[in-house]
Structure 1
């Protein structure tokens, strides 16, 4: 029997006046919470405007069902 997975994508956006701040402690908390629920991070991708400015990050997780 083959394994089956479900997937979840999380979007994290920067904050601050110039949208340039990421709270690393908060991101770690979110990632650890997902890990405690059985989610495994499989990819992370940034979305940017093309001028070196990151709009957000997408974290994709999977877990076996």
Structure 2
């Protein structure tokens, strides 16, 4: 029988005055929480404004159902 998966995408946005700072401690907390719930990170993609400015990151996870 074929394996079945479900997927979930989490958006993480920068903080700070100019929206340019990412809290790595908070990102690690989110990633570890997802892992403890059985989710496996399968991709990460950034969305940028152009001109080298990042708006957010999309982390996509999967887990077997």
Q: Give the TM-score band, short-chain normalised.
A: over 0.9
Structure 1 unpaired stretches of 5+: none
CA distance in 1, matches of 2:19, 2:49: 12
CA distance in 2, matches of 1:54, 1:5: 30
Partner secondary structure for residue 54 of structure 1: strand
Question: Per residue, is there more strand in 1 or in 2?
Answer: 2
CA distance in 1, matches of 2:25, 2:51: 27
Q: How many residues are aligned here?
A: 65
CA distance in 2, matches of 1:26, 1:15: 11
**TM-score, structure 2 normalization:** 0.98
Residue number in structure 2 paired with 1:43:
43
Say what the alpha-carbon RMSD is for the aligned residues. 0.4
CA distance in 2, matches of 1:49, 1:33: 29
4+ residue runs of structure 1 moved beyond 4 angstroms?
A: none
CA distance in 1, matches of 2:17, 2:56: 15
Residue number in structure 1 paired with 2:55:
55
